[in-house]
Amino acid sequence: MIIHLKDGTSEQEKKALFEELEALGLMIHPIEGVERTVVGLVGDTSNVDINRLQANPLTAKVTRVSEPYKRVNRRMHPEDTVIRVGDAVIGGGDQLCLIAGPCSVESKEQMRTLAADVKAAGAQILRGGAFKPRTSPYAFQGLGPDGIELLLEAKKASGLPIISEIMDLADLPYFEEVDILQVGARNMQNFALLKALSKIDKPILLKRGLAATYEEWLMSAEYLMSNGNENIILCERGIRTFETGTRNTLDISAIPVLRQKTHLPIIIDPSHAAGKHDLVRPLAQAAVAAGADGVMIEVHNDPEKALCDGPQSLHPSEYSRLAADLKGLHAYCRDHLR
């Protein structure tokens, strides 16, 4: 850590501060500059409360040298984490993971058909929401436990592993046979939920919050890993910016930036980012070309009758063409680009 001292700090004040810091087992390296004094702290700073240092009246600013996340950090774990679920391989770069399905589970017939369709298109994981986070209390909130039941039937019939969002710890028992649990963007900093999920042994897909920085997102992943869960998947789904021409702004740079910072796999959700079905294809292509480990796309048999997020859903026939193209593009990029 580096402390920038305020102008006019006296020698006596510095001495007292340094003694306090040395008492924490740190070595002190003051640098007297022309205008200001900065102090480097060397040692195990993981026990040093950066808040306390910042609250010190002598302190103008405190900056970290090391990242605050440990288990998700690529420096601690240089090899890519690779997660295998059914036929899907998530992470590592060799394969592209395709996740597809409706925004919300609506009926047995719907799920049966869609599961068969997306499997035929090459998707390895089936998505579907049973518990839906909706901005309005008057909007369709999902089928709840019955939705999970329909998902499980579709899993059985299709053989595809399934992913679904958990919003409330009290619902955890329903998720026993769900293969991957999703934490939604609005719950990315629901720390009670994160802590509980870090104790289970299923993969967790953690969506980025609408206004979460890379560091906050990684810290939430750190929560999920803090009790031993090692199978965390990061999912970029668009951030909130001033631009209203798209629902959210897909932050494509997240792929290469996170690739450097963490060993965890990174999935892109172009459907939620764009909010419009005709933007899904170009964004999905961009994601693959930028190195994403997978793409999660909303598919609905009848988008205009969808109970949720119809405008951004693809018809199964569109998805089929897109999935084939994305696989081809992934193979091309893997084999031809450096």
Instruction: Please calculate the CA angle 168-83-119 and round it to the nearest 5 degrees.
Output: 80
Shortest Cβ 167–a second copy spacing (Å): 5
Rounded to a whole number of angstroms, the minimum distance from the CB of residue 157 to a second copy is 26
Strand pairing class (204-207; 162-165): unpaired
19 vs 159, beta carbon nearer a second copy: 19
The pairing of strands 266-268 and 294-298 is parallel
Cα–Cα dist 271/40, whole Å = 46
As to burial, measured by CB atoms within 10 angstroms (0-12 exposed, 13-18 middle, 19+ buried), residue 5 is buried
Q: Which is nearer to a second copy, 145 or 328 (CB)?
A: 328
Nearest to 220 by CA among 199, 190, 263, 241: 190
- Between 31 and 159, CB nearer to a second copy: 31
Rounded to an integer, what distance in angstroms lies between the CA atom of residue 255 and that of residue 290? 7
Q: Which is nearer to a second copy, 85 or 287 (CB)?
A: 287
Cβ 36 to a second copy, closest distance in Å? 5
Nearer to a second copy, 80 or 325 (CB): 325
Min dist. Cβ of residue 257 to a second copy (A): 5
- Residue 86 or 144 with smaller CB distance to a second copy: 144
How far apart CA 242 and CA 259 sit, in angstroms, is 26
Query: What does residue 28 show for φ and ψ, rounded to 5 degrees?
Result: -110, 130
Please say whether the beta carbons of 293 and 337 come within 8 A: no
Tokens of 157: 């019939």
Cβ of residue 300: shortest distance to a second copy, in angstroms? 8
Closer residue to a second copy in complex, CB, 110/158: 110
- Residue 284 beta carbon to a second copy: minimum distance, rounded to whole angstroms: 9
CB of 238 to a second copy, least distance (A): 9
CA angle 236, 145, 162 (to 5 degrees): 45
Point out which residues pair with 83 in neighbouring strands. Answer: 90
Output 25 or 159, the one with its CB closest to a second copy: 25
Nearest approach, Cβ of 161 to a second copy (angstroms)? Answer: 25
- Rounded CA-CA distance 294/266 in Å is 7
Residue 298: name the closest of 312, 282, 281 by CA.
312
Q: How far is the CB of 324 from a second copy (least distance, A)?
A: 9
Q: Considering beta carbons, is residue 85 or 308 the nearer one to a second copy?
A: 308
Could you tell me if 235 and 264 are in contact, meaning their C-beta atoms sit under 8 angstroms apart? no
The identity of residue 237, as a single letter, is R
Beta bridge partners of residue 27, listed in sequence order: 42
